[in-house]
Chains A and B, each alone.
Chain A
Amino acid sequence: MAKKNELIKGSIDSLLLCVIVQQPIYGYQIIKELDSRSQGYFKFKEGTLYPALHRLERAGLIRGEWQTLPNGRQRRYYHITEKGLYTLAAKRGQWLDFLTAMNLIIQPVGK
């Protein structure tokens, strides 16, 4: 489990950018989205989501905006920025190269 958490920790920036690029989204919805799209694989301490979001925001990759809902509650929606799109494209490329190379190595050799 610890190793899985380390893997998630190392990929959290890419995961968040991939979710935020789809639509403006708020923290709790991100947790739900990651959970459903990964079929329950990406579960982590929810408290660690906000430090990661704030780090990405300070790096200029995403932008947070408060929106008032019809019931008066306020939610902070995250939008991807130009810089975020560029970073995501680079990260996607790196991941695809990595996965292709990993698959070549770890898949069983056919007889």
Chain B
Amino acid sequence: MLTVLSNYLESIRDNLRLDHSSEKEVIQELETHIEDEVEELRESGLSEEEAADTCLTLLGSAKMVARQIYEAHSQGSWTQALLAATPHILFGLLFALNWWQGVGWLLGMLVLILIMAVYGWWRGKPAWLFPWLGYSLLPVVVAALLLLYLPKSWSWVAILVYLPLALWLLYSITVQTIKRDWLYISLMLLPLPTIAGWFVAIEPVNQFPEDWLQRMQDFAPWIGLTFLALGVTVATFIRVRKRWLRVSVLVFSGMITLTIVAYYTDGRLSIPAFLILMVVMLLVLLSPALVERTLRHSG
């Protein structure tokens, strides 16, 4: 096959963002189409180069074809949308119904999250996996924060041993999934800005953890509300087809949840802190796009 045709198929592959088996089938189908068409054009008297150019003109832009095929495949079913929203809904209910102080509930949820994360990974990383994956990494992040708040010697343990290990874990999962579609990493990281927002808003000043637990108790219904909002976001994300709509849904939900945090904590979140959190939210949700681009270009 001529380089120009191989490059066309490669450009489609780069922009498809489908799972490996679907991507392979799409490329194979298009390759057969190109071979059939070039063969027929050559039989009609065109040179190989002329036949390739005509074939590419008839097919249309690689980016447009890839985008349309992505949109044909991207929409998940309602079951998948519900499955993806479930960890957020469970997390929301944990706070809204005040179950978060029950060790049994927390352990049960942790076990369920880990089972679903392992099952989804084993099933070829479907879109519904990523919210579960995000929550399965949450204990890793929370443990790091708790270590930092413990007496000083523990902070050193956190900085020297735990944080590098936690970052390595996050990095390896990110690299394994980001080449397919950076949006799934954003989906995985979606609760982080909201958690950071609540953490800053109810930040302990004097007594830790007594002061902190009391404030958690006070704000629990609103914490629950923000996670339920994330559940709605994720379900919408799974159901919409277009990429720009998916990005908009994620960013809009980040803005809404941080606004809820600021509104219901009665000024605990200062305007500069709110603005910084907004910037952090945009960085968390959109920076995977830059990482993906860098990884793709570095081969």
Contact = CB atoms under 8 A, between A and B. Distances in A.
Interface of A: 26-28, 45-48, 50-52, 54-55, 58, 73-76
Contacts of B73: 54, 58
B109 interface: no
A73 B35 contact: yes
Contacts of A45: 58-60, 64
Contacts of B28: 74, 76
Given A51-B69, A54-B69, A73-B35, A27 B29 contact: yes
A40 B277 CA distance: 58
Contact of B32 (A46, A51, A75): A75
Contacts of A73: 32, 35
A75 B75 CA distance: 26
Contact of A28 (B37, B69, B72): B37
Nearest to A44: B60
Contacts of A58: 72-73, 75
B72 A54 contact: yes
A46 B58 contact: yes
Given A45-B59, A48-B60, A54-B72, A26 B65 contact: no
Contacts of A54: 26, 69, 72-73
Given A46-B58, A55-B72, 18 more contacts: A27-B29, A28-B33, A45-B60, A46-B33, A46-B37, A46-B59, A47-B64, A48-B60, A48-B64, A48-B65, A50-B26, A51-B69, A52-B72, A54-B26, A54-B72, A76-B28, A76-B29, A76-B32
Interface string B55-97: 0001111101100110111010000000000000000000000
B210 interface: no
A82 B29 CA distance: 24
Interface string B22-33: 000110111011
B53 interface: no
Nearest to A43: B58
Nearest to A49: B33
A22 to B, nearest CB: 19
B36 interface: yes
A47 B72 contact: no
A28 B59 CA distance: 11
Contacts of A51: 65, 68-69, 71-72
B61 A28 contact: no
Contacts of A28: 32-33, 36-37
B229 to A, nearest CB: 29
7 contacts: A27-B33, A28-B33, A45-B59, A46-B59, A47-B68, A52-B72, A54-B72
Contacts of B72: 51-52, 54-55, 58
A58 B18 CA distance: 14
Which 6 A-B residue pairs are closest in the complex by CB-CB distance? A51-B68, A45-B60, A47-B65, A47-B60, A54-B72, A55-B72
Nearest to A75: B32
Max count, chain B CB within 10 A of own CB: residue among A46, A47, A52, A54: A47
Nearest to B34: A28
Interface string B197-220: 000000000000000000000000
B58 A50 contact: no
